[in-house]
């Protein structure tokens, strides 16, 4: 609101910074990807505050007569870059040294079983170290081009596939090239 009311840049940039702080205190989530239909709690709001802060600073940099102090803008940018949103540090997550200890303990228990965590799992489990998630398995190929061919594109007995070119004459692709 302060930005729309044409208040000084320091005022509304401080409001954005303060909003980000309050979102962090309310345990906002900072995922790498936000799913449209099921966003984590306060994730969209945190992203919007971070975006608005940077968009406002860019607008001020674009205007030569904005009257904004360059040092003030740099200070806000540095604070945002070092803040919890940029680092992905959620309020209820353990500190870095605790994470490293948990990862090492969890890694030791996993190495004896010879499995890796799956793509949706984390090395940090809420139930403690150990095998709490299924082993990672590669997903099967999701597309088989042979099955997707139209009936008029079926392979001939010699292993070639007839293809229509733009002139309408029939050509076949073989492992050695077009025939």
Q: Please check whether residue 4 lies inside any domain of the structure.
A: no
User: How many structural domains comprise the chain?
Assistant: 1
Q: Please check whether residue 31 lies inside any domain of the structure.
A: yes
Q: Please check whether residue 111 lies inside any domain of the structure.
A: no
Is 87 in contact with 24 (CB distance < 8 Å)? Answer: no
The more confidently predicted of residues 58 and 165 is 58
Burial grade of 57 (CB within 10 A; 0-12, 13-18, 19 or more): buried
Enumerate residues 6+ apart whose C-beta is below 8 A from 52: 16
For residue 53, what are the domain limits?
Answer: 9-87
Q: Please check whether residue 120 lies inside any domain of the structure.
A: no
CA 165 remoteness from chain centre: 41
pLDDT in tens, 21-30: 999 999 999 9
Q: Please check whether residue 155 lies inside any domain of the structure.
A: no
pLDDT in tens, 123-143: 444 444 445 545 544 555 444
> How would you classify the pairing of strands 161-164 and 177-178?
unpaired
Mean pLDDT of the chain: 71
How far apart CA 17 and CA 82 sit, in angstroms, is 12
Q: Please check whether residue 101 lies inside any domain of the structure.
A: no
pLDDT in tens, 35-75: 889 999 999 999 999 999 999 999 999 988 877 888 999 99
């Amino acid at each position: 609101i302060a930005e729309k009311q044409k208040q000084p840049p320091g005022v509304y940039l401080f409001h954005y910074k303060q909003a980000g702080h309050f979102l962090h205190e309310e345990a906002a989530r900072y995922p790498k990807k936000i799913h449209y239909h099921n966003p984590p709690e306060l994730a969209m709001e945190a992203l919007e505050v971070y975006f608005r802060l940077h968009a406002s600073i860019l607008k001020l940099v674009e205007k030569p007569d904005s009257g904004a102090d360059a040092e003030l803008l740099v200070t806000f940018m540095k604070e945002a870059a070092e803040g919890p949103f940029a680092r992905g540090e959620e309020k209820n997550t353990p500190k870095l040294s605790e994470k490293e200890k948990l990862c090492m303990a969890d890694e030791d228990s996993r190495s004896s079983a010879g499995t890796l965590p799956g793509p949706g799992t984390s090395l940090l489990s809420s139930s403690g170290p150990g095998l709490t998630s299924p082993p990672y398995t590669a997903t099967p190929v999701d597309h088989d081009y042979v099955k997707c061919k139209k009936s008029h594109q079926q392979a001939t007995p010699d292993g070639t596939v007839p293809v229509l070119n733009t002139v309408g004459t029939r050509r076949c692709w073989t492992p050695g090239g077009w025939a």
